[in-house]
Amino acid sequence: MSPSRVMEGEQRGWIVPIGGAEEKENDPHILERFAQLCGGSSANIVVIPTASQLAATGPRYEALFRGLGVGEVDVLDFDMRRDTEEKSRLERLDRATGIFFTGGNQLRLSTMIGGTPVAQRIRALNARGVHVGGTSAGAAILSEHMIAFGKEGLSPTAGSVRLAPGLGLTNRFIIDQHFSQRDRLGRLMAALAYNPYAVGIGLDEDTAAFICPDNTLEVVGSGAVTVLDAGNLQFSSMADAGEDGTVCMLGLTIHVLIAGATFNLQTRHASAGSLATPKQTS
């Protein structure tokens, strides 16, 4: 599905995928920045814990956002697809300044809300300026193409990744989470071999990509964001690779970004950002 069209005079909301295991207690800098982006004490955040089957997940994030000073927070869970048609739930989404998807199982999330009125409403709200974030499975579903599951390892093979439709807020990137912790470079490269148009974004734990309306990505958090750019891909053997055959990819560009660095998803330009500012010495 295509992202909703941004109407004249309006601006798309931010998209904030988080690699999972974000700091929640001592220094919840990622969640705090998302809360401030949504309006701080005036923010109105809806938490969607559908990816998780743990009853405590939604209330935990509700308490976290309230502890960060958010004015209004509600949990909207969807246990069945028919829940996504309820008028009261859609109206609650309409009042939100921010929508946050928790972690869990991205296939549970996509099969529960994919193609439903809720999915359509969230795309439309993001096009009208509502910020949408998610952690782990909640990050994976944000884009048009979602990694459903795959194999660990450094080398891409044709069978190392399985893709499924995501929420469709954007078609510019494919997310992989818990990236370096779970050795997922190979499966993200394989995803790009299937779809070279997209940019691969590998998010480490406690690390987020804050993507603003002009498609500039800024890294926030303690880990790294690995950006795979297949825009200048010269050759791929994906069409001839067997299920377990390693895929040859020539011309793939890799950037490793840490907090303060940026990447423009439209121009494909990476920058050290604030890291490039000379440090003052005494």
Annotated active-site positions, please?
136, 178, 205
Q: How many CA atoms lie within 13 Å of 72's alpha carbon, on the beta-carbon side?
A: 10
Q: What is the DSSP string of 99-155?
A: EEE--S-HHHHHHHHTTSHHHHHHHHHHHTT-EEEEETHHHHTTSSEEEEEE--SSS
Q: What single-letter DSSP state applies at residue 206?
A: T
Strands 131-135 and 98-101 turn out to be: parallel
Q: How far is CA 281 from the centre of its chain?
A: 38
CA atoms within 13 A on the CB side of 107: 7
The region that residue 218 occupies, defined by phi over 0 for left and psi between -120 and 50 for alpha, beta otherwise, is beta
At a CB cut-off of 8 Å and minimum separation 6, what does 21 contact? 136, 178, 181, 205, 206
CB 193 within 8 A of CB 238: yes
Per-residue burial over 72-100, b if 16 or more Cβ lie within 10 Å, else e, is bbebbbbeeeebbeeeebbeebeebbbbb
CA distance 12 to 15: 9
Structure-block tokens of residue 70 = 């958010």
Identify the residue whose tokens are 């028919």: 82
